[in-house]
């Protein structure tokens, strides 16, 4: 005889939040504003954002890095193929758009500040 029978089906708890694996956050790509900040910082310092010191932990020793997508690649061929991909081209297009500011966020939320003319501008004191 095999093992005892279970009262639940296999995978019955897969939809319950506390049993799910938290993989989406660890594999998430950098946001566009973070990448725009990196590019702006590299322009001011003069050091290219794609330049890294050799690191055994990173793919390809960290020498093949795509600034626009924030990913490391194992070799030059992989980086070259990546730069032909739809994902890369779409990300480049997103990066060309201007960065969101706090004022644009408030305007989108409808929190604009009206500038009204003074109510009693024509009346003179005295």
* DSSP characters over 22-90: -HHHHTPPPPHHHHHHHHHHHHHH-S-TT-----TTSGGGG-EEETTTTEEESSHHHHHHHTTSHHHHH
Residue 84 has pLDDT above 90, yes or no: yes
Mean residue pLDDT of the chain comes to 78
Query: Model's pTM, two decimal places?
Result: 0.55
Contact criterion met (CB below 8 Å) for 55 and 62: yes
| C-alpha span between 122 and 109 (Å, rounded) | 35
Q: What tens digit of pLDDT does each residue of 31-68 get?
A: 888 888 888 888 888 777 777 788 777 887 878 888 88
- CATH numbers and ranges of domains, the chain: 26-97 (3.30.160)
């Amino acid at each position: 005889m095999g093992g005892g029978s279970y009262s639940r089906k296999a995978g019955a708890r897969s939809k319950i939040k506390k049993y799910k694996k938290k993989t989406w956050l660890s594999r998430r790509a950098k946001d566009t504003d973070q990448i725009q900040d990196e590019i702006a910082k590299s322009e001011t310092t003069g050091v290219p954002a794609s330049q890294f010191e050799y690191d055994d932990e990173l793919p390809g020793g960290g020498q093949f890095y795509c600034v626009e997508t924030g990913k490391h690649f194992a070799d030059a061929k992989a980086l070259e193929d990546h730069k032909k991909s739809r994902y890369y081209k779409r990300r480049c297009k997103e990066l060309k758009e201007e960065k969101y500011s706090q004022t644009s966020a408030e305007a989108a939320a409808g929190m604009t500040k009206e500038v009204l003319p003074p109510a009693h501008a024509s009346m003179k004191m005295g």
